[in-house]
């Protein structure tokens, strides 16, 4: 069991570090940071959405997404009409600059995902994501005190 714990925690931590490093390196050209990537990616792929929807898609905490959106808006990547002065209900839309950068980011992400998945066929990939999703749900339940 100790070996399983070590392998699981070390592998997950290593994957997370690699993703952050790749985001940072890939985004340096644009002057963007890792947290900005997901916002631009999802707005580019899915189109306009609210900050609340974006938080859900990104799996990021609201404060991080809010800071990212503020930066992206101030730097001309997106616009959003505030409804009743509240960002979570505002529909966020990429500007031309945001769309162009978002498309470049999406292309890089697609390339990186292809490289990261080399040697894994589609059936294995589906099973991997299904199991990762199950593990995440189980860990969230455990973290919320719903232990058996």
* Residue 122: exposure state from Cβ atoms within 10 A (0-12, 13-18, ≥19): exposed
The reported pTM is 0.79
In this prediction, what percent of the chain has a pLDDT beyond 70?
A: 92
pLDDT at 85 over 60: no
Torsion, Cα of 99, 105, 109, 110 (10° steps): 50
Under the banding of pLDDT at 50, 70 and 90, the label for residue 129 is very high
How far does CA 80 lie from the centroid of its chain? 20
Phi and psi at residue 61, to the nearest 5°: -75, 150
Quick one: DSSP state of residue 75? T
Instruction: Please report how the helices 34-46 and 2-27 are oriented relative to each other, as an axis angle in degrees rounded to 10.
Output: 80
């Amino acid at each position: 069991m100790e070996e399983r714990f070590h392998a699981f925690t070390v592998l997950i931590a290593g994957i997370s570090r690699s993703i952050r490093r790749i985001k940072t390196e890939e985004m340096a050209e644009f002057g963007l940071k890792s947290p900005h990537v997901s916002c631009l990616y999802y707005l580019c792929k899915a189109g306009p959405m609210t900050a609340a929807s974006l938080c859900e898609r990104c799996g990021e905490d609201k404060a991080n997404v809010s800071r990212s959106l503020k930066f992206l808006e101030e730097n001309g990547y997106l616009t959003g009409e505030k409804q009743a002065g509240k960002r979570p209900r505002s529909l966020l839309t990429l500007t031309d600059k945001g769309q162009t950068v978002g498309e470049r980011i999406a292309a890089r992400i697609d390339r990186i995902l292809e490289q990261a998945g080399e040697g894994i066929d589609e059936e294995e990939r589906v099973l991997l994501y299904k199991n990762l999703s199950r593990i995440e749900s189980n860990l969230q339940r455990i973290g919320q005190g719903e232990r058996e």
